[in-house]
Amino acid sequence: MKGKILLCVTGGIAAYKAIDLASQLTKSGFEVKIALTKNAQRFVSALSFSAIINQGVHTNLFENSDPIPHIHLADWADLTIVAPATANIIAKAAQGIGDDLVSTILLSQPKPVLFVPAMNVHIYEHPATQNNLKILKERGNYILEPETGLLACGYEGKGKYPPNEEVIYAIRCYLKYPANLTGKKILVTAGATAEPIDPMRMITNKSSGKMGLSIARAFALRGAEVTLVYGIVTETIPYYMKKSIFAPTAKLMYDAVMKQAKNYDIIVQCAAVSDYKPIKASTQKIKKSKNFNLELIATPDILEQLGKNKFPKQKLIGFAAESEHILENAKEKLQKKNLDLICANNLETAGKDETTLNLIRAGATKTTKPIQLTGNKFDVALDLVEHIISL
């Protein structure tokens, strides 16, 4: 079992999405219990949740089966999540009002709670709501900000319930680590670059960008200010990654990184940058022939340049994807490019959801044993972030 999640559902139109959230959590191996407010039951039924989690749902502060359900549920949970969180429950939690089961659970919970606000854009942006969210955050609670888009009320703006995949990423993060990196500025590169041969063909590699996106997501969920510079990726960029720069070629990525490198405390160069590009790309499609020769030149080495111009107290982390002599090649790269930490992995993990990283710090000798992280790329990223900030 991955953890015990108490899902509190309140009365917003997005309440139906909590049914899918409960389903995904249960399928992923979490133990889930549900508490519904009276207004939530106007949108969704307790029966729908019961069928998914295979147990009863809590709806009343005065249940006959449990005289103090708010205490027992709060004590049971590893993490309490309010999704969707209406302006009403946010106000109650901020002001210490306990007049039903869910609001009393929140008063009884000494551990941080994850709130997932979803509401009309004007309600979300109202000073009272923003002040209440600020109060909750200052108390150590977690706020997964809503998405911007077309809302159920017909308005367009910030207030949309986020994808449940991102809610689950937040749950996985906060079960293990707090959001304590506020004020840290992080630059992460991710994905593969592609060097054009002609308007259709290109030189690229197998990188999916999953590891780089996982690292950026882990830093952002922990409160850091993250800038993501990315090439070709196979997954959607997290909606809360506001500072994202698309840089599909080595030159564009080099320019984007070098332009602002001095502004960051930590730079994680995870992108798989093409080492070579055609001397000149054709502006028209090259017609097929029996023989075709392509003359290549080296692309700019972003990591090497960052190492040469590293700013005081700035930490630089690189990756070494190898097919053989993994640790030996990684240690050589660590020293040559003036890195603080290198993450060595086998090329076979490219594009996959699982990985094994061997972490080697600056100053390592031939006999130094690396720290090994193995598992799902996001879980590995969470632990990697902890090692990085310990530098």
* CATH node for 4-174: 3.40.50.1950
Stretch 263-270: mean pLDDT, rounded? 98
With 80 as the cut, is the pLDDT of residue 190 above it? Answer: yes
Which of 153, 173, 270, 343 is catalytic? The answer is: 153
pTM of the model: 0.95
Give residue 58's pLDDT. Answer: 95
Burial of 279 (0-12, 13-18, 19+ CB in 10 A): exposed
Query: What is the CATH T-level fold of the domain 185-282+293-389, as seen in this structure?
Result: Rossmann fold (3.40.50)
Q: Where in the chain is the domain with CATH 3.40.50.1950?
A: 4-174
- Per-residue pLDDT tens for 49-91? 999 999 999 999 987 678 899 999 999 999 999 999 999 999 9
State the DSSP H helix or E strand holding residue 103, giving kind and residue range, or none if neither.
helix 101-108
**Strand pairing category for 113-117 and 147-150:** unpaired
- Per-residue pLDDT tens for 329-373? 999 999 999 999 999 999 888 889 999 999 999 987 777 889 999
Give residue 364's pLDDT. Answer: 77
Angle (nearest 5°) at CA 79 between 77 and 84 = 110
- Per-residue pLDDT tens for 286-323? 999 888 899 999 999 999 999 999 999 999 999 999 98
Give residue 1's pLDDT. Answer: 60
Quick check: is 153 catalytic?
yes
Give residue 88's pLDDT. Answer: 98
What whole-number distance in Å separates Cα of residue 246 and Cα of residue 121? 28
Query: Of 169-183, 186-200, 242-256, 347-361, where does mean pLDDT reach its minimum?
Result: 347-361
Query: Of 148-152, 224-228, 250-254, where does mean pLDDT reach its minimum?
Result: 148-152
The percent of residues in the chain predicted with pLDDT above 70, rounded, is 99
- pLDDT interval class at 141 (50, 70, 90): very high
Q: Where in the chain is the domain with CATH 3.40.50.10300?
A: 185-282+293-389
